[in-house]
């Protein structure tokens, strides 16, 4: 499958990994939008947040566990943001479900 995040999972494309388990991978975004910008993805190819099914309950929980651990590891105790873009209008450019962790500075709200 021609998916860049599956290639990152398979180590065909290099990335800076910050956390990994059997089912979840987290790596630094190549074009960071904040001092900390990490992408957390399921190793299973899921296209977007609307494609998640009951079969994926464990994976969704593990992603949230990973986010908690990464926030602690990267010392985001003052706060951070988790973003899941979906579809063209949502700004999704890679068709493999990913959670952005953004932090390390005061973030503006609402986003543009
Ligand atoms: P989206 O716009 O789909 O929500 O987010 C995709 C993110 O993936 C973008 O922030 C982009 O910088 C990042 N990205 C795209 N290609 C690569 C890559 O090859 N390596 C890494 N580390 N990040 C990537
Ligand atoms: Zn994929």
Report pLDDT for 1: 76
Helices (H), 1-112: 4-9, 57-73, 87-90
- Residues lining ion ligand 2 (Cβ < 5 A) are 3, 5-6, 45, 96
71 alpha carbon – ligand 1 mean position (Å): 19
Query: Mind listing the pLDDT tens digit for each residue in 51-93?
Result: 999 999 999 999 999 999 999 999 999 999 999 999 999 999 9
At residue 111 the predicted structure's pLDDT band, cuts being 50, 70 and 90, is confident
- Catalogue the active-site residues: 98
Cβ count near 79 (within 10 Å): 9
15 alpha carbon – ligand 2 mean position (Å): 15
**Relative to the CA of 95, which ligand 1 atom is closest?**
3
Tell me the chain's radius of gyration from C-alpha atoms. 14
**Relative to the CA of 94, which ligand 1 atom is closest?**
3
CB neighbour list of residue 43: distance below 8 Å, 6 or more residues apart: 9, 22, 23, 24, 25
CATH fit for domain 4-103, picks 3.30.1220.10, 3.30.428.10, 1.25.40.10, 3.30.360.10 = 3.30.428.10
Query: Mind listing the pLDDT tens digit for each residue in 4-49?
Result: 999 999 999 999 999 999 999 999 999 999 999 999 999 999 999 9
58 alpha carbon – ligand 1 mean position (Å): 24
Structure pTM?
0.98
Q: With beta carbons less than 8 A apart as the criterion, state whether 102 and 39 touch.
A: no
Domain-by-domain residue ranges, the chain? 4-103
Q: What angle do CA 100, 68, 33 make, to 5 degrees?
A: 25
């Amino acid at each position: 499958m021609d998916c860049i995040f599956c290639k990152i999972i398979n180590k065909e494309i290099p990335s800076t990994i910050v956390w990994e388990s059997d089912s979840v991978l987290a790596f630094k975004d190549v074009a960071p939008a904040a001092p900390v910008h990490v992408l957390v993805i399921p190793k299973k190819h899921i296209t977007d947040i609307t494609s998640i099914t009951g079969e994926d309950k464990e994976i969704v929980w593990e992603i949230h566990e990973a986010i908690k651990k990464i926030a602690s590891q990267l010392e985001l105790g003052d706060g951070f943001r988790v973003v899941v873009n979906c579809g063209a209008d949502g700004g999704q450019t890679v068709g493999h479900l990913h959670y952005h962790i953004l932090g390390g500075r005061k973030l503006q709200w609402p986003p543009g």
